[in-house]
Structure 1
Amino acid sequence: MLLSTREPFDGAAVLAFLAARAIAGVEEVRGETYRRTLALPHAGAILALTPRAGGVEAAFALDDARDEDEAVARSRALFGLDVDPAAVAAVLGADPDLGPLVARRPGLRVPGVVDGWEIAARAVLGQQVSVAAARKLAGRITATLGAPLARADGALTHRFPSPAAVAAAPDEAFPMPRSRIRALREVASAGLLLDTPASAPGLLDLWGIGPWTAGYVALRLGDPDVFLSGDVAVVRSLRELGLTTEDASRWRPFRSFAVLHLWANLTKDGAPARPDGGDAPALG
């Protein structure tokens, strides 16, 4: 089925973002298709999503047919398909400084998530390390703690570890500093229902979680107006444009999209760069 969206739509940029962060066993990008395992309300599933003109071609292998609507909703969220690009362009495209970036990448979307717990956990795993290192770490932990599929589907072999599995695991399961182990366990044990952007500030009550991480999670959960003022890549991109974080106020209510354009401004191919600031995750 085709999950439609309004043009312009830069699905290739979302695909590149996901590919750079794909966790072995859970995700893969095969050609132009993103594939991943997922636990849905009734049972497990494998999603296969291919960006096309006008949207994303989706194919689902569902263990329970009742999960089809949920699979569609999460796939739409992941690729930002419900965004109105005209509304974003009306604000950001009219800005004298950000406008040229928007004109260069008019269909840029904020990559979403398929699971709130997963994005919070990945954010903690990626704190203060490179994308490659964080990706490798997540893969090792998934191989140890993730539920294996009854039958592997190509490179897909596991589901992302559940909060219960992470909370109960010994320190030896996490090849990373004790401070990050503690922070990860805090998130796993908190029981937060991270299903909307409004739930992300609850992360700030947990040990080891700072404003960048909570903001980044809110951004990925779909808040269109998050500005990561402490993000090193954002600050660097602003500096190249002769701007400061104070200029961001004029980009409301679409500051999350401004962040994506500022990240893309730092890369040759226009794909979002690695976020990196304060308590920032490399993986996300």
Structure 2
Amino acid sequence: MTGAPGILAWLAPRAVPGVEVVSPDGYRRALPGPRVAGVTLRDDTVDTSDADLARLFDLVDTGTSGADARRTADERLAWAATRHDVPALAAAIAARPALAQPGCADAHEMLIRAIVGQQITVAAATLQLGLLAEHGDPLPAALAETGIDRCFPTMAQVAAGADVLRGPAAKTATVRRAAEAVASGAIDVRVPTEAGAASDLPAMRALLLELKGIGPWTVGYLSLRLGDPDVLLMGDVAVRKGARQLGIADLEAFAADCAGHRSALMLRCWAAA
């Protein structure tokens, strides 16, 4: 899930039927408004005029994201690689500099995706999300196109329609609790837009962790996708595997030297895995 082609490859098996479509040369999806927006892949870069999709592909230059921030993270990781004698990481940074940090087009949707996807396969999670998506508002006929005919449900619609989810009743209850909390305003889950600032990520994480069924991995992953530059999911199997592939003997100690840029370290581990 690194770089524009990597993000597209990541999105492809996770595309929710009726809401989004991934093709070899781009990505299109329905978004609140409603509207349908897309990105076009050219070589190894993507182009879009839509602010939400620009955030998904890390094309927005703000204080903690964008090309400058990625280069700063690379410098810190390269320094740590030298200090800890991890030449494979240094080589990976030189070969593929400034990896994009995947964002999200819709923060509320990302929360539901993170919960639904816990401890099940990608195919199973996509099926579940497709069932849930049927509760979203249909697009006007003038906007609908092949494979895209509705918006992802609002949090109120998710809460009302959560019973369509298959599997453990406990997970369905967790989805409903989270959707109700966000819909009511009890928990603020937002990304920065022209209209206002992002949610307070530490406060958001703390409140989400108080909900039964939501653990550190889920809030960490959501925080990453909302633009947090300092997330490292230490318990993630792929992170651990990637660290071994790179030759990082003590991931905790290495990560301590990357404080402030641990999301970039996690992306490098995922890429290696």
Q: Does 1:198 align with 2:200?
A: yes
Q: Distance in 2 between matches of 1:149 and 1:163?
A: 17
Per the alignment, residue 75 of structure 1 pairs with 53
The alpha carbon displacement at 1:146 in A equals 1.6
Q: Give matches, 1:170-249, under 5 Å.
A: 171=163, 173-191=164-182, 192-195=187-190, 196=198, 198-199=200-201, 200-201=204-205, 202-240=207-245, 241-246=247-252, 247-249=254-256
The alpha carbon displacement at 1:53 in A equals 6.4
Q: Aligned to 2:106, which of 96, 115, 120?
A: 115
Unpaired stretches in structure 2, ≥5 consecutive residues: 191-197
Per the alignment, residue 268 of structure 2 pairs with 261
Q: Does 1:44 align with 2:16?
A: no
Q: Does 1:169 align with 2:161?
A: yes
> What value does the CA root-mean-square deviation take over the aligned residues?
2.0
1:193 alignment partner AA: D
Classify the secondary structure of the residue corresponding to 1:108: coil
The alpha carbon displacement at 1:101 in A equals 2.3
Deviations 1:63-89 (A, max 9, x none): xxxxxxxx42x2221111221232122
The alpha carbon displacement at 1:55 in A equals 5.4
Q: Distance in 2 between matches of 1:253 and 1:20?
A: 31
In percent, how many aligned pairs have the same letter? Answer: 37
Q: Distance in 2 between matches of 1:210 and 1:245?
A: 21
Deviations 1:189-240 (A, max 9, x none): 1022211363341211211110111111011000111111111111122233
Distance of aligned partners of 1:129 and 1:105 in 2 relative to their CA distance in 1, 3 Å threshold: same
What is the aligned length? Answer: 241
1:198 alignment partner AA: D
Per the alignment, residue 250 of structure 1 pairs with 257
Classify the secondary structure of the residue corresponding to 2:228: coil
Q: TM-score, normalised by structure 2?
A: 0.82
- Following TM superposition, the consecutive aligned residue runs of length 4 or more in structure 1 with deviations greater than 6 angstroms are none
Unpaired stretches in structure 1, ≥5 consecutive residues: 1-8, 60-70, 267-284
Q: Distance in 1 between matches of 2:31 and 2:5?
A: 22
Deviations 1:142-197 (A, max 9, x none): 12x121112231110111111111212262x1112101101101110102221136
Contact 1:163 1:188 in 2 (8 A): yes
Q: Distance in 2 between matches of 1:149 and 1:160?
A: 10
| Stretch of structure 1 that moved more, 98-107 or 108-117 | 98-107
1:86 alignment partner AA: R
The alpha carbon displacement at 1:242 in A equals 4.1
Per the alignment, residue 56 of structure 1 pairs with 46
Q: Distance in 1 between matches of 2:127 and 2:44?
A: 34
Classify the secondary structure of the residue corresponding to 2:139: strand
Distance of aligned partners of 1:170 and 1:57 in 2 relative to their CA distance in 1, 3 Å threshold: closer
Per the alignment, residue 76 of structure 2 pairs with 91
More helix by share: 2
The alpha carbon displacement at 1:110 in A equals 1.2
Classify the secondary structure of the residue corresponding to 2:140: strand
Distance of aligned partners of 1:53 and 1:197 in 2 relative to their CA distance in 1, 3 Å threshold: farther
Q: TM-score, normalised by structure 1?
A: 0.79
The alpha carbon displacement at 1:132 in A equals 1.5
